[in-house]
Structure 1
Amino acid sequence: MAATPDTSAENQQPHTPDTIKQRLFLIVLVATMGALAFGYDTGIISGALPFMTLPAAQGGLGLSPFTQGLVSSSLIFGAALGAFLSGYFSDRFGRRITLRSLAVLFVLGSLGTAIAPDVNIMIAMRFLLGIAVGGGSSTVPVFIAEIAGPKRRAPLVSRNELMIVSGQLIAYVTSTLMSYLLHDEHLWRYMLSIAMVPGVLLFIGTFFVPASPHWLVAEGRFKEAKRILKHLRETPKEVRKELAEMKRQSAEADKGPSVSELIREKWVIRLLLLGAGLGFVLQFTGVNAFMYYTPIILKTTGLGTNASIAATIGNGIVSVLAALCALWGVSRFGRRQLLIVGLLVVIAAQVCLGLIMTLLPQNMTQSYLALACILVFLFFMQMFIAPVYWLLMSELFPMKLRGVLTGAAVAFQWICNAIVAFAFPLVLSVAGNETFFIFAVINVGSLVFVMMMLPETRGKTLEEIEIHMRDKYGELDAESAS
């Protein structure tokens, strides 16, 4: 009797490019449910707050200006903590288990905010929700990068940013439509409860996606890693090459210093400072000042309240279009090149906005020109800067500390987010329209930082990037010691 050919999934090689694309698409779609929830949760509060400020007799929570700030910022501070903690859990228990746990927090936090009976419970639930948002923001890019492989890493990780801005756009449209169509004193509770949907989808989806092969190799589970790679790469050659690189890096990490010793090495500290600096670059573009306060800016030009709020939807649409363009751009241009071009246009847009707000009289021309500057700013910000930041956060750090260092760097980014969100209204009240020139000056400094400090990572495997970073910063340490 002739031998029966082995048709097990493990031996079905090679796979067609279309099959691999479909598998990776589904994995990324599941993972980025966390990013969708991230975007929705950060965007929906702008539509819910006006209703939450109403007295309790009218269905609100009677928020004062002070408690409005607490409700809004509690999510940001929770996100900083979540990003930091998830790095440890991601390295300890794996990316997939961490995402599953975060999905539970997304659901509990969303439900808690929707049924919160008073301000104190609302703040606590927003903080819990922020832990999920921050944890997802640091874990999702790393998981996608480790699953995708070097050829597809850039566009797939960039889908994370696309889902974030899509979530924000959904939030803006949802809050606008619900405010017009529903006449219910508990309208804001419905807005907040919708955030449970992507959390539920993320939780269910994690049972159908594989673990990270990089994490499995780091844990010594080579057979499982190989089996997963065979389903996600087109040829046996790709599988052998990636697995060999992962094993080599894992062996070097095991022979080298422990985690506690490694994190104190100068080249690792330099990498962490680079990651933190990129978080500063991202947030001090002023992007969230425009995302949160565009209606306030436009109202100073004489534009009506409804028109100013409608402009927020314009922000969301432009951000989504820019993120779609970024999927094309990150595969064709270097990370440094994209950041430099993006910062140059961002600086020009801020200078133009400052001149328009300072020199032109308050009329419709000023309103439209100011809005045009904001939209140009957002397009280049969301195409050239934000997706590259998240991509770099998934690439820069060594395998042994990838979760911890990514979590710490992203946590610092959230702190910068909070600083900008708090400081912008205050600075605007004191410095007026010169605030936009201040942002431009800060971004000139960011441009210099990127040009001097950021190496190029495009086209390299994660293992090659790690070797390059260790060699680059090791040489700097040797030079400084000599």
Structure 2
Amino acid sequence: MFDTPQSTRSGATAPPPASHPTLPADRPGPHSKRLGYIAVIATFGGLLFGYDTGVINGALEPMRDDLGLTATMEGFVVSVLIFGAAIGALIGGRMADSQGRRRNILMLATIFMVGTLGCVLAPTWETLGVFRFILGLAVGGASATVPVYLAEMAPVERRGSIVTRNEVMIVSGQFAAFVINAIIFNIWGEHDSVWRYMLLVALAPAIGLFVGMLRMPESPRWLSSQGRDDEALEVLRQVRSPERAEAELAEVHALALEEKESQTGGWSDLATPWIRRLIIVGIGIGVFSQLSGINVIMYYGTQLLENAGFSSNGAILANTANGLFSVLGVTVGILMMNKFNRRAMIITGYTLTTTFHLLVGIFALAMPDNSLKPYVIMGLVIGFVFSMQALIGPLTWLLLSEIFPLKIRSFAMGVSVFTLWIANSIVAFGFPPTVSALGISSTFFVFAALGVLAIIFMWRMAPETRGRTLEQFEDDFRIQHS
């Protein structure tokens, strides 16, 4: 399903990804290293996103014993971060528009530090819940702001690989949480407060994000939208060759002037058909990524594998393998990102994950209970995780960062990521009772049915963005759908 020609569903041909017809080639130089350094620092936000969502998997049991959590309290402590993330995504996008991407990330780093320390020192479950919610605000804000910042800093030729580095850091953070939890539990597992050590580890990357972003530049596209073209050009000269910086600023500035004639992006823009369609596309991309069930593995992987037949210790080890294959999948996705069309990759991804859902359901239902069955199901789950993280996960964040016009980019990103987190919370709440009521096989058949809907949606609605600048894609989409 990977088509190398740059064709869209409508038959239009996109330009090759190596260059843009109106821009000089972005040749390697010191500016390339500077851009790489910026990407490393900014994606600490993704690392924190991953660690703070993954650490609860191993910390929950000792946390329950230490704080005397009931089942209801456990559900609250786990889910309150997700609800906080939904709100943080919505607010964070708007704040990134008003105060700038860099300043917003600095603020989020501070919230990460406050939320982490509050959770570590929490004397009661109520206090823990409050600071988990605060931590969720930072997680959601980072999920909406960091991809936009990276997309606006990167040249069109490298935008795919630069933006998807954030996804690498997210899954690396989750994998790190699984491994660090296992190590800490083996060393200090006899202590009632061992879960506090697990959570405290997140303080280090939060400090790194804050200190690093103090030396990072603001997004040139945001600066230009504020009429600060001299500063935007200075930033572009840090991350582009001199001739490329001049040409790219002229293109960004021309679009910014055109957009200044319109009101600030917001809910009123939904009256414009092509903008409304884009936001519907963004919501669909975000929601279907969560209805794939990937965070079922991230939150309940150990329990799922125990239900499949593993012992408690075996399930913990197998769950670590899921984290490892998440990282490997995203790495493969980055290698493919600039070689194949976005639409082809994401449709192929949903086809594979839907297939694995069906296979898990079939083997869980039809295979006799024996010593081999848990390993078969584990292999199929790993196949699902790898396909998801190689093809759907990176494309979700990349497309969301690419498809929205500058005027509403952070607003629309916030709305899309808000719905993504709401879908995440619904799946997180719904999975345990669904498995209890229907069993593993029927639950995965439900995920397969949702996967079919995702394939149809992506085929009909997902646009092609590869090989286009953000501004060129906006112009083309507006003409096509006005």
Q: Same fold (TM over 0.5)?
A: yes
Matches within 5 A, 1:318-397: 318-397=325-404
Give the aligned partner of residue 233 of structure 2.
Answer: 226
Give the aligned partner of residue 63 of structure 2.
Answer: 52
Matches within 5 A, 1:392-403: 392-403=399-410
CA 21–302 in structure 1, closer or farther in 2 if over 3 Å, else same = same
Give the aligned partner of residue 120 of structure 1.
Answer: 126
Q: Which of 183, 189, 192 is 1:177 aligned to?
A: 183
Measure, in 2, the Cα distance between the counterparts of 1:461 and 1:253. 17
Give the aligned partner of residue 479 of structure 1.
Answer: none
Give the aligned partner of residue 445 of structure 2.
Answer: 437
Matches within 5 A, 1:174-323: 174-182=180-188, 183-236=190-243, 238-260=244-266, 261-323=268-330
Measure, in 2, the Cα distance between the counterparts of 1:70 and 1:472. 46
Measure, in 2, the Cα distance between the counterparts of 1:146 and 1:461. 10
What amino acid is aligned across from residue 159 of structure 1 in structure 2?
R
Once the two structures are superposed, residues 380-432 of structure 1 have per-residue CA deviations (whole angstroms, 9 ceiling, x without a partner) of 10000000000011111110111111011001100000001111111111121
Q: Is the 8 A contact 1:172 1:313 kept in 2?
A: yes
Measure, in 2, the Cα distance between the counterparts of 1:380 and 1:18. 35
- C-alpha displacement of 1:302: 2.3
Measure, in 1, the Cα distance between the counterparts of 2:354 and 2:337. 21
Give the aligned partner of residue 404 of structure 1.
Answer: 411
What amino acid is aligned across from residue 444 of structure 1 in structure 2?
V
CA 200–301 in structure 1, closer or farther in 2 if over 3 Å, else same = same
4+ residue segments displaced more than 4 Å: 13-16
Q: Which of 443, 451, 456 is 1:448 aligned to?
A: 456
- C-alpha displacement of 1:18: 4.2
Give the aligned partner of residue 32 of structure 2.
Answer: 21
Q: Is the 8 A contact 1:15 1:235 kept in 2?
A: no
Measure, in 1, the Cα distance between the counterparts of 2:139 and 2:264. 30
Say whether residues 1:37 and 2:43 are aligned partners. Answer: no
Matches within 5 A, 1:83-94: 83-94=89-100
Say whether residues 1:419 and 2:426 are aligned partners. Answer: yes
Once the two structures are superposed, residues 86-133 of structure 1 have per-residue CA deviations (whole angstroms, 9 ceiling, x without a partner) of 111100010000000000000000000000010110000000000000
Measure, in 2, the Cα distance between the counterparts of 1:390 and 1:202. 20
Q: Is the 8 A contact 2:308 2:373 kept in 1?
A: yes
- C-alpha displacement of 1:257: 4.1
Give the aligned partner of residue 8 of structure 2.
Answer: none
Q: Which of 469, 473, 480 is 1:461 aligned to?
A: 469
- C-alpha displacement of 1:259: 3.0
What amino acid is aligned across from residue 271 of structure 1 in structure 2?
L
Say whether residues 1:139 and 2:145 are aligned partners. Answer: yes
Q: Is the 8 A contact 1:51 1:187 kept in 2?
A: yes
Measure, in 2, the Cα distance between the counterparts of 1:34 and 1:409. 18
Measure, in 2, the Cα distance between the counterparts of 1:304 and 1:89. 47
Measure, in 2, the Cα distance between the counterparts of 1:105 and 1:449. 36
Give the aligned partner of residue 9 of structure 1.
Answer: none
- C-alpha displacement of 1:16: 6.0
Measure, in 1, the Cα distance between the counterparts of 2:264 and 2:215. 33
Once the two structures are superposed, residues 43-100 of structure 1 have per-residue CA deviations (whole angstroms, 9 ceiling, x without a partner) of 101111100111xxxxx11111000000000000000000000111100010000000
Local SS of the residue matching 2:404:
coil
- C-alpha displacement of 1:312: 1.1
Local SS of the residue matching 2:372:
helix
What amino acid is aligned across from residue 416 of structure 2 in structure 1?
A
Measure, in 2, the Cα distance between the counterparts of 1:131 and 1:328. 32
Measure, in 2, the Cα distance between the counterparts of 1:188 and 1:340. 40
Give the aligned partner of residue 150 of structure 1.
Answer: 156
- C-alpha displacement of 1:300: 2.3
TM (norm. structure 1) is: 0.92
- C-alpha displacement of 1:19: 1.9
- C-alpha displacement of 1:290: 2.0
Give the aligned partner of residue 62 of structure 1.
Answer: 68
Identity fraction in percent = 39
What amino acid is aligned across from residue 177 of structure 2 in structure 1?
A
Measure, in 2, the Cα distance between the counterparts of 1:342 and 1:92. 35
Q: Is the 8 A contact 1:39 1:163 kept in 2?
A: yes
CA 473–16 in structure 1, closer or farther in 2 if over 3 Å, else same = closer
Q: Is the 8 A contact 1:301 1:362 kept in 2?
A: no
CA 101–257 in structure 1, closer or farther in 2 if over 3 Å, else same = closer
What amino acid is aligned across from residue 51 of structure 1 in structure 2?
P
- C-alpha displacement of 1:281: 1.4
What amino acid is aligned across from residue 363 of structure 1 in structure 2?
N
- C-alpha displacement of 1:216: 0.3
Q: Is the 8 A contact 1:96 1:206 kept in 2?
A: yes
Measure, in 1, the Cα distance between the counterparts of 2:294 and 2:170. 14
- C-alpha displacement of 1:184: 2.1
- C-alpha displacement of 1:179: 0.6
What amino acid is aligned across from residue 254 of structure 1 in structure 2?
K
Once the two structures are superposed, residues 352-375 of structure 1 have per-residue CA deviations (whole angstroms, 9 ceiling, x without a partner) of 111110011122211111000000
Local SS of the residue matching 2:164:
helix
Once the two structures are superposed, residues 255-312 of structure 1 have per-residue CA deviations (whole angstroms, 9 ceiling, x without a partner) of 2344354343222222111111111210011111122222222222321110011111
Q: Is the 8 A contact 1:14 1:235 kept in 2?
A: no
CA 258–118 in structure 1, closer or farther in 2 if over 3 Å, else same = closer
RMSD (CA atoms): 1.4
Measure, in 2, the Cα distance between the counterparts of 1:259 and 1:439. 35
Gaps of 5+ in 1: 1-12, 55-59, 475-482
- C-alpha displacement of 1:435: 1.1
> Structure 1 stretch 425-434 or stretch 214-223: which is displaced more?
425-434
- C-alpha displacement of 1:15: 8.9
> Structure 1 stretch 262-271 or stretch 365-374: which is displaced more?
262-271
- C-alpha displacement of 1:470: 1.7
Local SS of the residue matching 1:85:
helix
- C-alpha displacement of 1:141: 0.2
- C-alpha displacement of 1:240: 2.6
